[in-house]
Chain A
Amino acid sequence: DQQVKQNSPSLSVQEGRISILNCDYTNSMFDYFLWYKKYPAEGPTFLISISSIKDKNEDGRFTVFLNKSAKHLSLHIVPSQPGDSAVYFCAASGGGSQGNLIFGKGTKLSVKP
């Protein structure tokens, strides 16, 4: 039973354009959401997070949007750069006794020069 879903396994974007990575969740108790970036053979690195009391959080080129009614969040990267090519994981926490982070399966982003 997947509580955090990233339905697109891969995404290809041209350099300079916007990358939009999507994530859906099923547990309405989740109240904190995070995005991680992972390069091959390395551990994931934390990118940006958002609390359920907000609907948007911005950090430089990265913006996360949260739509609680749709149980959907997205990560926007503008402008996309070749160095952004990596696997992006969405994670959520706060689901009652589920205090730990629950991760999606990831989306592989390829930014082409």
Chain B
Amino acid sequence: SQTIHQWPATLVQPVGSPLSLECTVEGTSNPNLYWYRQAAGRGLQLLFYSVGIGQISSEVPQNLSASRPQDRQFILSSKKLLLSDSGFYLCAWSVGLGTEAFFGQGTRLTVV
């Protein structure tokens, strides 16, 4: 069966520090991969998605970037965190675009 792992579960980082959140999927090949952010009162906002290695599409211009160095690995990064980057970050995968997406447990990021 397919599983998705996302870490860390919580993270407190100072403003201006770098960020790296990692997500891996097991049990499937060539998944579509996603990074979402849940901010208070804003639901689930799609940040990035990837349909293959090295292929990244950004939905919202911001201080973050994403990379997919391997088929089942998706990384969310920032060179310098802002206070506004605080939120709950979720990685997800799906078989096809627009089909059921399966989420990881999320990372609570607090920028202080």
Contacts and interface: CB of A to CB of B under 8 A. Distances in A.
Contacts of B105: 42-43
A105 B43 contact: yes
Contact of B98 (A89, A101, A104): A101
B107 to A, nearest CB: 10
A43 B92 contact: yes
Interface residues of A, number: 22
Interface in B75-112: 88, 90, 92, 97-106, 108
Interface of A: 6, 32, 34, 41-46, 49, 89, 91, 93-94, 99-106
Interface of B: 6, 9, 34, 36, 41-46, 49, 59, 88, 90, 92, 97-106, 108
